[in-house]
Structure 1
Amino acid sequence: MANVNFADLTKGQEIGSTTVAVTRADLVKYAGASGDFNPIHWNERFATAVGLPGVIAHGMFTMGASVQLVTDWVGDPGAIIDYQTRFTKPVLVPDAEGEQGPGEGGNILSISGKIAALDDEARTARIDLTVTAPDADGADQKVLVKAQALVQLS
């Protein structure tokens, strides 16, 4: 939805929801783009040796994939003037053999957003995101908390 009109927004209004599939191939591509080749993001043996339940997604990958909902809603990535979160749980990314997690390997981020605050004077909207992913047992867990994007509207 492009061209969001500030006057039409209300606190508590949903901006939408989406899912993002995450595979190990995505992590390899992200590593190449970011330069973060930490083996916890691609090597099962290494990840478990350091105490993780398996290969995990990069935190910045998770953060970036999640804010795409806000970008799509507002229609202009430049309108997002602040974005922050706390990482609470790792996003497990099982291999294509399906060692853990859902389906054919990989995992699914579930993302939803709503307007949590409006500033009439600054013409900004704070969007709070809820971001979950299944853990090793398939139970949904919050992987980000206090995921908040501040959007400047004209």
Structure 2
Amino acid sequence: MAPIIDYLLDRQVSPQWRGVLGALAAEFETQIGRDDLRQLMYRVGCRFADAHPLPQCGSTADLADALNACWDETEWGFVELSDESNYLRIIHFCAPLQAFGTGALAWTPAFLQGVYQTWLSALGAEGLAVEQASDFSADAVIEFRLGRHPV
């Protein structure tokens, strides 16, 4: 399945940007440490979320619909949400993070973390933290969790 996912994700990023994003990521990595890159991408995600505010949502299903409407519009994959006993599980599929190169997958997911933190805080989840709960998988899936304590 991974070769199919790789093929589809490769088509998701315009050819005019593939080399530029890879070179940008390589230069970032030579100039900036990984923790700082995660912080940078987190802040970029916050800016993205501020520029793409969500409507008020009355349920987890409404929230999933609002998230997916934004991700669909920007061609950034899709999300599934589930209410767990201590956290909200956020599973994001097919984000084009590989456009920066596989080495950048150590820091580019922080973009999504910043987006989700900003959106969920704006919707009333103040005091709760979005944490990355998995690495970006070969199937282009990454999990985040919204909860009271880092999970």
- With the length of structure 2 as denominator, give the TM-score of the two structures: 0.31
Whichever structure has more strand as a proportion of its residues is: 1
Higher Rg of the two aligned structures:
1
More helix by share: 2
TM-score (norm 1): 0.30
